[in-house]
Amino acid sequence: MKLYGIRKSNIDRNGRGLYAIKDIKEGTRIINYVGKIITKKKTEESKKFDNSKPIYLFNLNGRYDLDGDVPWNIARLINHACLNNCDYEGKGLKLWVVAIKDIKKGDELTCDYGFSYDSDYKQFPCKCGSKNCVGFIVREGSRWRINKKFKKIQRVSR
């Protein structure tokens, strides 16, 4: 049964997002994250993945990546939030978006995009509105560096 719908996003004001169309229990696989399976060699050679724009690339294993930047991948519409309610879960060459907490009908589905901290982080501002938002899309484990830099130390309420 379909658990999500596509609507204009509250986070990305210029774009769309996915919303829960019914209550979703923690641990539920909501949607398959699909795309093109490509070799790491191709990833390294392609200009598309040079980190100059938001990318939808996942590491599947030592040999293959998944490029989710394809029109038929609905899951790519899921926006980043610093207090995300979903996460990506991989098994073999399959990738799922899974609820990591109980989600209420009408809530926007959000993931942690997991961009690592580097000098380019400022090109990905975050407007998710979470209490713990650091203002930029950065992997949770790297956020302390941003917090330190901007002296916006806040407790993560999870």
Angle at 21 between CA 18 and CA 22, to 5 degrees: 130
CB of residue 85 to Zn ion, shortest distance in Å: 13
15 touches 9 (CB < 8 A): yes
> Which residues are CB-contacts of 78 (< 8 A; sequence separation ≥ 6)?
17, 18, 86, 97, 109, 110, 111
Residue closer to Zn ion, measured from CB, 73 or 110: 110
CB of residue 153 to Zn ion, shortest distance in Å: 15
What Rg value do the Cα atoms of the chain yield, rounded?
16
Residue closer to Zn ion, measured from CB, 82 or 109: 82
Q: Which of 82, 99, 109, 138 binds Zn ion (CB under 5 A)?
A: 82
- Count of beta carbons in the 10 Å neighbourhood of residue 75: 22
Instruction: Please report, as a single letter, which amino acid is at residue 21.
Output: I
In angstroms, the CA 156 to CA 158 distance is 6
Using the rule CB under 5 A, give the single segment among 39-47, 64-72, 81-89, 149-157 that binds Zn ion: 81-89
Q: Please work out the total of residues on this chain that contact Zn ion, with binding judged by CB under 5 A.
A: 4
* SS3 label, residue 97: strand
Residue closer to Zn ion, measured from CB, 14 or 50: 14
Residue closer to Zn ion, measured from CB, 30 or 128: 128
Site for Zn ion in 123-152 (CB under 5 A): 126, 128, 133
Residue closer to Zn ion, measured from CB, 43 or 130: 130
Q: Which residues bind Zn ion (CB under 5 A)?
A: 82, 126, 128, 133
